[in-house]
Chains A and B, each alone.
Chain A
Amino acid sequence: MNSMIIGKYVPGTSIVHRMDPRSKLIMVFFYVFIVFLANNVETYAVLMIFTFSLILLSRIPLSFIIRGLKPIFLVILFTFLLHLFMTKEGELLYRLGWFEIYEQGVKQGVFISLRFLSLIIVTTLLTLTTTPIEVTDGVESLLSPLKKFNMPIHELALMMSISLRFIPTLMEETDKIMKAQTARGVDFSGGSFQERIKAIVSLLVPLFINSFKRAEELATAMEARGYRGGEGRTKFRLLTWKTADTALIVSLILLAIILFILRS
């Protein structure tokens, strides 16, 4: 569980870290579609070069990413095998009884796995190099045109950042309450079904009650400090669009064009 890196942030000062969250969000959003343009060896090569140059630019060690994505590799392996055995096109490469492997199967398997891998690496890079707060700010700013249609974008972003902010607090509290109940004789790791239910109740009830209490206190504290919603509210962290951000978007457009030309 500890080695899982999806959703984690790794502090750094690389060019990718310093980019505007908006450009990163736009890029990830469109990248998800662009990936589907690739359909032959050349296009997948370009795609992989693009992905790995992003990793290089972020200065996050490749070994760290590989180690963190270990659980995902199982899923990738599964998709690979599925394509390998299910595609029955092209030249027959190997046969053992009813068990057949075709040329197209190998190709499809490799392509789909690479597509999967590149998607996951790029989206993970976003969270690895952007703090949750930056992501929310970026989302709010990108969605702000929708405010014209009376969509509560600021409230949505606020909800997002509050829930992100309280994840560590909740984890800490879960640990504390589990310890307190363990000291009162609860066994969280074993016991009969009924005992397990009772154990979970003894954890969840205090957790819920404390969360409600905290929500109320937070609301009071915000009001006491003059919070009145998003109207006319200025930002503490200003988002600035820099050359690197433009470069990122341009490179994404270039990637799309190259893939479009090279695809068969």
Chain B
Amino acid sequence: MDIVFKDVEHRYHTNTPFERRALYNMNLSIASGSYVAIIGHTGSGKSTLLQHLNGLLQPTNGTVHIGDQIITNAKKPKHLKPLRKKVGIVFQFPEHQLFEETVEKDICFGPVNFGIPEEQAKKMARELLPLVGLPEEVLTKSPFELSGGQMRRVAIAGVLAMEPEVIVLDEPTAGLDPQGRKEIMEMFYRLHQEKKLTTILVTHSMEDAAKYADEIVVMHRGTVVKTGTPKEIFREPNTLLEIGLDVPETILFQKKLEEKFGVTIDSPCLTMEEIVEEAKKLFAKVRKNDE
């Protein structure tokens, strides 16, 4: 399911003194089966953007194509349910949406709403638990007995149980410990690869964006300022630093290395291994020159 934004603009509270433009000039296309990371400062319009992905918000101007569904500012589109089944959104702090008496019921809530038979949903819940890293005995527990990290995993399982074709992740690891963070990110990446799940990740972690995404979209003050592969985006770290964003540690190290030795390394190093390799080569060259 391809997603295309065409000249999208979104304003909150139109025709009131509180009117605010949150998005403008948004042109963006996300190919089916790709992994796209959206990075940007707080207030750059990321959350507004992702609420357009399943019709929670309608654009004030322009059109959003999601598969064969077109969303414009015309009156409230009907039949959004099939679309919402196809596009699963894991909101920030998704554990706040839990409400059922048992974990099993909560995971089944989404799929049952979309008309999947209860038995099948239960089976799916059982299968999803090991995937999100939870033991099977939590199924009969109340979600509110679990720890914060476990609740997060239940909520994620609840979205995955809808079997979406596109999954939108809004900072899925905020507030988790480093280990849990890594596990969750790896899990989504596996899903993306195995099931060809189109994945859209909103994140503040440049390391995650660089590591997992095929394409990065940089947002600033309500519009896209840059799109490209991680290598393209981080080749010019200064643009990112100027708009107040971080770049991966490896890129910063590379930049310092280049300045110190007055050289340029051709390709931006996004992983520790790459930068170590480049540094080794550089030091070898320097030593040779010294002799």
Q: A-side interface residues toward B, CB under 8 Å?
A: 2, 173, 176-177, 179-187, 201-202, 205-206, 209-210
Which residue of B is nearest A173, CB measured?
Answer: B96
Given A184-B110, A185-B114: 20 more A-B contacts, CB < 8 Å: A176-B96, A177-B96, A177-B97, A180-B94, A180-B97, A182-B56, A183-B54, A183-B88, A183-B89, A183-B159, A184-B97, A184-B113, A185-B81, A185-B85, A186-B113, A202-B97, A202-B99, A205-B99, A206-B99, A209-B144
Complex Cα distance A183/B90, Å?
9
Is A206's CB under 8 angstroms from B98's CB? yes
Interface size on B, residues (CB 8 A): 24
Complex Cα distance A181/B98, Å?
9
Q: B16 interface residue, CB < 8 Å from A? A: yes
Which residue of A is nearest B57, CB measured?
Answer: A179
Complex Cα distance A202/B109, Å?
10
Interface majority SS (helix, strand, loop, mixed), chain A: helix
Complex Cα distance A255/B152, Å?
63
Q: B209 interface residue, CB < 8 Å from A? A: no
Complex Cα distance A81/B101, Å?
53
Q: B84 interface residue, CB < 8 Å from A? A: yes
Is A187's CB under 8 angstroms from B94's CB? no
B14-65 residues at the A interface, CB under 8 angstroms: 16, 51, 54, 56
> Shortest CB–CB separation between residue A198 and chain B, in angstroms?
9
Is B91's CB under 8 angstroms from A183's CB? yes
Cβ contacts under 8 Å, A176 to chain B: 91, 96
Cβ contacts under 8 Å, B114 to chain A: 185
> Shortest CB–CB separation between residue A2 and chain B, in angstroms?
7
Q: A179-B51, A179-B56, A180-B91 are in contact. Are A185 and B84 (CB under 8 A)?
A: yes
B76-108 residues at the A interface, CB under 8 angstroms: 81, 84-85, 87-89, 91, 94, 96-99
> Shortest CB–CB separation between residue B145 and chain A, in angstroms?
12
Cβ contacts under 8 Å, A173 to chain B: 96
Q: A205-B99, A206-B98 are in contact. Are A187 and B81 (CB under 8 A)?
A: yes
Cβ contacts under 8 Å, B56 to chain A: 179, 182-183
Complex Cα distance A176/B87, Å?
17
Which residue of B is nearest A203, CB measured?
Answer: B99
Among A180, A181, A185, A210, which residue has its beta carbon within 8 angstroms of that of B162?
A: A185
Complex Cα distance A187/B80, Å?
10
Is A2's CB under 8 angstroms from B96's CB? no
Q: B158 interface residue, CB < 8 Å from A? A: yes
Which residue of A is nearest B91, CB measured?
Answer: A180
Q: A182-B56, A183-B54, A183-B89 are in contact. Are A206 and B96 (CB under 8 A)?
A: yes
Complex Cα distance A85/B79, Å?
50
Complex Cα distance A209/B144, Å?
9
Complex Cα distance A179/B158, Å?
15
Among A2, A179, A185, A209, which residue has its beta carbon within 8 angstroms of that of B110?
A: A185
Which residue of A is nearest B94, CB measured?
Answer: A180
Complex Cα distance A89/B87, Å?
69
